[in-house]
Structure 1
Amino acid sequence: MDCRPLEMTLFSANDIKDVNLFSKMDVYAVVSMSGAAKKHKLRTPVHKDGGTNPKWNHSFKFTLEDAALQQDRLKLKIKLISVRTLGETKIGKAVIPVKELLQNFGKDEKHVTYAVVMPKGKPKGTVSFGYKFGEKFSAPLPVWPEAHKKAHEPVMAYPAGHRAGSTSAYPPPGVAYPPQPQPGYGYPPQQPVYGYAPPPQAGYGYPPVVQPGYGYPPQKPKRGGGGNMALGLGAGLLGGLLIGDMVSDVGDMGGYDDGFGGGFDF
């Protein structure tokens, strides 16, 4: 890969827009190279109280791909920014095609001046810088290690028995589908534990029926129930009637005259 070095020194900006109201501007510049494979973004120190004519005399170095340079894909951008108490304010920027700089370059460092365009598109002020291209040289292409390649390769997941590259949605011959669950109510059968019946399962609204043999204790008849009370009352009434009849018979016998004069007188 053919490359070419570029060295530049940003001298100053002149007659740029004043974005401060009551004090002189503190201005710095951000220099970047767009269109390059490697992103370059550098900045100058802040010129305190530089106002509308800040000065930096700050140098930068870039390594450019010669193919991108010849195809006019590289742009040098210089952005001017004012530092304020409550934040930063953009003043404007200059955009320069790097191929244009190469065509105008000689053997010695060249000084140029370009217009600064404000955010709304109106030109205001200029920036001045010097630049110099170095001799073209060859650089090896970046080689990624095998582990880096595998880490960035997409991972393809296939079902069991599927062959990579096959477009069929069915498994190849000899590969069986996994067993499918049988339809049901979704509850596994429950076994009785410690002699108690399993809880009744939800059905269609019928009450659960308790089957014999699940360990429930036998139910004993309750004492003092309504049937025993009725039987006792019936027996008591019958006994009273019998006793009443006997008393009535005894009374009738008291008026009987046996003809012996009221006693056994021999």
Structure 2
Amino acid sequence: MDRKWIKLTSISGRGVRSFSLLFLKPSLYAVVSVNGLQKQTTSPDPTGGENPVWFNPVRLDLDGVDAPDQDLVLEFDLMASGSLLIGGDWLVGKVSVPVGDLLTEGGDGSVRHVSYQVTAPDGKPNGVLSFSYKFNLPPLPRGMDLAVTSPPPAAYYPPPEATSAFYPPPPPVAVGYYPPTQTPGHVAYYPPIPPEDVACYPPLPPPVDPAACCYPPPPAVRDPYSYLPENWDRRSYR
């Protein structure tokens, strides 16, 4: 039967101090486990510096831990190799990584590379731990993926015919807020436009008669001889 496991490779540290009082450079190694179980230890880094590299691949069986995936924690204990003169090996840092976070990125079985901060025993930062990982996830039984990924629609959404009883029904569409136009069944929002034969301004005044003037007409020019008697003889005045 195929099992679920995680494989770690390219485990390394950067800036991890060992806090040695004798100014020594002890070799560092890592103890890897899941929820404190299935502990596996890498070989000590031969350089003895603050940037250890461990080439040992680590494989942990996730089915061997009686806990759901969201409760699994991948734990790293970074240890310094010491002698009996200084009290043996001691802890220089810890890293705890939720397995659920790793599944979010690498649940498709691809190789992923991540980095996490190392915490010293006094709670202060002590460098960075990096590693690559890959999951082996057995396929789900036939029909199990459909049962999990395709729940019945009615379990999460109300039926389509359900109506709300907390609000009154909307008003009829035919109701308008302004008087309607001449077109029946049309909702108008502004008054209708006046017909074209209706003028928007008063009619123009009739044309002014040129004979009519604002001043009285001049007196008629009369013949100067019109004042003489009718039987006068114009030759007698010559």
TM-score (norm: length of structure 2): 0.51
Instruction: Find the residue that maps to 1:68 and give its secondary structure.
Output: coil
1:18 corresponds to which residue? 18
Q: Which moved more, 1:95-104 or 1:129-138?
A: 129-138
1:55 corresponds to which of 53, 56, 59: 53
Counterpart CA distance in 2 for 1:84 and 1:118 is 17
Deviations 1:191-231 (A, max 9, x none): xxxxxxxxxxxxxxxxxxxxxxxxxxxxxxxxxxxxxxxxx
The structure-2 alpha-carbon separation of the partners of 1:50 and 1:69, relative to structure 1 and needing over 3 Å to count, comes to farther
Contact kept in structure 1, 2:109 and 2:136, CA below 8 Å: no
Deviation at 1:51, TM superposition (A): 1.4
1:115 corresponds to which residue? 117
Instruction: Find the residue that maps to 2:103 and give its secondary structure.
Output: helix
Deviation at 1:25, TM superposition (A): 2.1
RMSD (CA atoms) = 2.6
Q: Which moved more, 1:61-70 or 1:23-32?
A: 61-70
Deviation at 1:49, TM superposition (A): 3.3
The structure-2 alpha-carbon separation of the partners of 1:126 and 1:98, relative to structure 1 and needing over 3 Å to count, comes to same
Contact kept in structure 2, 1:69 and 1:98, CA below 8 Å: no
1:75 corresponds to which residue? 73
Deviation at 1:84, TM superposition (A): 1.4
Deviation at 1:6, TM superposition (A): 1.2
The residue type paired with residue 17 of structure 2 is K
Instruction: Find the residue that maps to 1:99 and give its secondary structure.
Output: helix
Structure showing greater radius of gyration is 1
Counterpart CA distance in 2 for 1:102 and 1:53 is 27
The residue type paired with residue 96 of structure 1 is V
Deviations 1:107-164 (A, max 9, x none): 42001111110111112101111101113258xxxxxxxxxxxxxxxxxxxxxxxxxx
Counterpart CA distance in 1 for 2:9 and 2:94 is 16
1:96 aligns with 2:94: no
Instruction: Find the residue that maps to 1:84 and give its secondary structure.
Output: coil
Counterpart CA distance in 1 for 2:68 and 2:113 is 20
Counterparts of 1:1-266 in structure 2, within 5 Å, are 3-20=3-20, 21-34=22-35, 39-65=37-63, 68-70=67-69, 72-86=70-84, 87-105=88-106, 106-136=108-138
Contact kept in structure 1, 2:32 and 2:75, CA below 8 Å: yes
Identity in percent: 35
The structure-2 alpha-carbon separation of the partners of 1:69 and 1:136, relative to structure 1 and needing over 3 Å to count, comes to farther
The structure-2 alpha-carbon separation of the partners of 1:137 and 1:117, relative to structure 1 and needing over 3 Å to count, comes to same
Contact kept in structure 2, 1:16 and 1:125, CA below 8 Å: yes
Deviations 1:45-82 (A, max 9, x none): 01123211111121111221398343x11110011111
Instruction: Find the residue that maps to 1:129 and give its secondary structure.
Output: strand
Uncovered stretches (5+) of structure 2, i.e. residues with no partner: 141-238
Deviation at 1:2, TM superposition (A): 8.9
Contact kept in structure 1, 2:9 and 2:131, CA below 8 Å: yes
The residue type paired with residue 102 of structure 2 is L
Contact kept in structure 2, 1:2 and 1:67, CA below 8 Å: no
Contact kept in structure 2, 1:8 and 1:59, CA below 8 Å: yes
Give the length in aligned residue pairs: 135
Counterpart CA distance in 1 for 2:139 and 2:58 is 19
The structure-2 alpha-carbon separation of the partners of 1:2 and 1:58, relative to structure 1 and needing over 3 Å to count, comes to closer
The residue type paired with residue 83 of structure 1 is S
Counterpart CA distance in 2 for 1:3 and 1:100 is 20
TM-score (norm: length of structure 1): 0.46
Deviations 1:160-192 (A, max 9, x none): xxxxxxxxxxxxxxxxxxxxxxxxxxxxxxxxx
